[in-house]
Amino acid sequence: MGIRHYKPLAALAAILAVAMAIAGAAHAQPLTKIRYTLDWRYDGQFAAFMMAKAKGYYEKEGLDVTLDSGAGSVASINRIVGGSHDVANADLSTVIEFLGNNPAQAGKFQAVYLLYNSSPMIIQTLKSSGIRKPQDLAGKKMAGSISESARKAFPIYARAVGIDPKSITWLTVDPALRENLLARGDVDALPGFALDRITLIARGVKEEDIVTFSYADAGLRLYGGAVLASAKLIAENPKAIAALLRANNRALKETIADPEEAIKYLKVFDPLLDPKMELRKLKILLQVIDTDFAQRNGLGAIVKADLENQVENVTAAYGLKTKPDANGIFNSSFLPPKSERIPRSASK
C-alpha cells in the first residue's frame, strides 16, 4: 500500500526531472552570433543598444551580439555589404544614396527597424547674423563637408521653405572646422544634425545666441537612422532578426522612459565618457525618436508613402544615377507587434 501511495509523487518527480533536463538542454543551446555595427563611436545617442548588451537582453533572446563602434553611415553600409557585419545602423537617406549610385548592390541588405522617425537635420545660425527665419538664408554663405547628409539634403529643405538653393554660397570644409567658422562669423549658417548644437556651444557660443531651424519643422518627412540586416541573415536566420529587434525595442522603450538609467551602461563600453554630457546628447536624440509619430505608429515603423517621397527627393537632390525601389529598402515583417512598440515617455 505504501509503495502505491508514493507512485504519483514518483511520477511527478520524473516528469519534473525530464522538464528540467529539457529546459537545461534548451538553455545550453549555443547562442546565435551576430556582428552589429553602430554608425558612430560609443556615446549617449546609442545608450539603448549598449544597455541591451550590458543587461543581457540579446542573450535572453538567444543571441551573442558583438556591438562595434562605427565611423559613419557609409562605413556601416560598406561593412554590411562586405560581409564583416550582419546588422548595422545607418541613415536612410545615405542608404538611398548608396543604392541609387550602386544599383548592383540592391538586395544585399534591408532596413528592418526605423530609429529616427523625424529628421534630426538642422540649420544653425547666430542671432548676430540677422537671420530670424528660414527664408532669410537666401543669398547667405554656408559651410559644410561635401559628403555630409544635411548639406546634400539642403536643396530639399530650401525648396520646402521657399528659397532657391542655388542662391547659397557654399564653403567646403572639414566637418571639424564648421562650428569654428560660424563662431567667428566667417559664415552665416551651417547645415548639420541636432547634436551639433552641443559642438557649437563647446566652441564658446552661448546657447541663447543660437538660432536653429529644423528640417522636420519645414514639413519634411525625412526618416533618419535605421537598423539594417544583411540579405544573408534575412535568408538564413529570420528568427534571429526578430529576436534582435525585440531586444532593441525593449531597451529603447526603457531608455525613453528613464534616460538617466540608460546612460549608466555607457561606462561598460567607455569609462572615460562624461555621463552628464552623454545624457544631454541622448535627450536631444530622443526628440526624434519619442514623437507623436511613434505614439501613433509605434517605434520602428514607417509609412510607405513617406519613404517613397523621400526616395524621390533624395534621388533628385543628390543627383543619383538611378532611383532605388522603395519596396526593397524597408522590410517591416520582423517588427514586434505594434502594442509592444508604443513608447512610454519619461514625462508621462
Q: What range does the domain containing 175 cover?
A: 121-218
Rounded to 5°, angle at Cα 39 from 33 and 267: 75
- pLDDT at residue 1 in the model: 40
pLDDT at 346 over 90: no
Does residue 166 lie within any of the structural domains? yes
DSSP letters, 145-166, are: -TT-HHHHTHHHHHHHHT--GG
- In a domain, residue 144? The reply is yes
- Distance, in Å, from the CA atom of 11 to the CA atom of 115, rounded to the nearest integer, reads 51
In a domain, residue 13? The reply is no
Query: How would residue 11 be classed by pLDDT, with cut points 50, 70 and 90?
Result: very low
Q: In this structure, are 176 and 144 located in the same domain?
A: yes
Band (17; pLDDT cuts 50, 70, 90): very low
Range in 23-27, 48-52, 247-251, 280-284 the model is least confident about: 23-27
Q: Verify that 114 and 262 share a domain, yes or no.
A: yes
The closest of 219, 215, 289 to 254, measured between CA atoms, is: 289
pLDDT tens-place string over residues 19-37 = 344 444 445 689 999 999 9
Selection from 161, 142, 39, 36 nearest residue 90 by Cα = 39
Residue 328 has pLDDT above 90, yes or no: yes
Cβ pair 247, 339 in contact under 8 A: no
Q: Binning pLDDT at 50, 70 and 90, where does residue 345 land?
A: confident
Are 244 and 326 contained in the same domain? yes
Helix or strand run (H / E) with residue 25: helix 2-27
Cell numbers standing for residue 221: 518627412
CATH number of the structural domain spanning residue 176: 3.40.190.10
Check whether residue 296 and residue 169 sit in a common domain: no
In contact, 92 and 224? CB cutoff 8 Å? yes
| Angstrom distance (rounded) from CA 148 to CA 342 | 32
Query: Which DSSP helix (H) or strand (E) runs through 97?
Result: helix 92-101
| Number of residues assigned to the chain | 348
Alpha helices in 185-274 (DSSP H): 196-202, 231-236, 238-257, 259-263
Domain-terminating residue out of 178, 194, 218: 218
Residue recorded with cell 529539457: 22
Q: Are residues 236 and 315 in the same domain?
A: yes
Exposed e or buried b per residue across 12-27, where buried means at least 16 C-beta atoms within 10 angstroms of its C-beta: eeeeeeeeeeeeeeee
Residue 82 in any domain: the answer is yes
Number of domains present in the structure of the chain: 2
Compute the distance between CA of residue 20 and CA of residue 22 in angstroms, rounded to an integer. 5
Q: How confident is the model at residue 347 (pLDDT cuts 50, 70, 90)?
A: low
Residue 38 domain flag: yes
pLDDT of residue 16: 40
Q: Is the pLDDT of residue 343 over 70?
A: yes
Strand partners for 121: 193
Confidence of residue 7 (pLDDT cuts 50, 70, 90): very low
Question: Which pLDDT score, from 0 to 100, does residue 28 have?
Answer: 61
